[in-house]
Chains A and B, each alone.
Chain A
Amino acid sequence: MNEWINNLRPILSSEVFLLMLCLGSFLLGVLIYKKTNISLLQPLLITMVIIIPFLKITGIEYKTFYENTRILNFMLGPSVVALGYVLYDQVGHLKGNLFSILTAVLVGGIVGIGTVVIVAELLGANHSLVASLAPKSVTTPIAMNLAEKHGGVSSLTAIFVVVCGMFGGLVGPIILRKIGVKSKIAKGLAMGSSAHALGTARAMEMGALEGAISGLAIGLMGIMTALLIPFAEKLLF
Chain B
Amino acid sequence: MIKGLFFILLFYFLGEMLSLLIGGFMPGSVLGMILLFLSLFFKLLKPEYVKDAATVITKNMAVFFVPAGVGLMAYYDILSKNLVAIVAAISISTILTIIAVALVQERFEKRRMKGEKTDE
Contact = CB atoms under 8 A, between A and B. Distances in A.
A and B co-occur in one complex: yes
Interface of A: 22-23, 25-26, 42-44, 47-48, 51-52, 55-56, 62-63, 65-66, 69-70, 72-73, 75-89, 91, 96-97, 99-101, 103-105, 107-108, 111-113, 115-117, 119-120, 123-125, 129, 133, 136-137, 139-142, 145, 155-156, 158-168, 171-172, 175-176, 179, 181-183, 185-187, 189-191, 193-195, 197-198, 200-201, 204, 211, 215, 217-219, 222-223, 226
B62 A219 contact: no
B119 interface: no
Interface string B69-87: 1111111001100101110
A189 B103 CA distance: 10
Nearest to A199: B98
B90 interface: yes
A62 B74 contact: yes
A117 B112 CA distance: 34
Contacts of B54: 82-86
Contact of B101 (A85, A108, A142, A165): A108
A83 to B, nearest CB: 5
B72 A48 contact: yes
A183 B26 contact: no
A183 B54 CA distance: 26
Contacts of A73: 64, 67-68
A197 B50 CA distance: 19
Interface of B: 5, 8-9, 11-12, 15, 24-30, 32-37, 40-41, 47, 50-51, 53-55, 57-59, 61-75, 78-79, 82, 84-86, 88-106, 108-109, 112
A197 B70 contact: no
B40 A100 contact: no
Given A84-B11, A185-B105, A175 B85 contact: no
B65 A140 contact: yes
Q: Give the most central of B26, B75, B102, B103: most A CB within 10 Å.
A: B102
Contacts of B78: 129, 156
A86 B105 contact: no
A123 B64 contact: no
Contacts of A44: 62-63, 65-66, 69
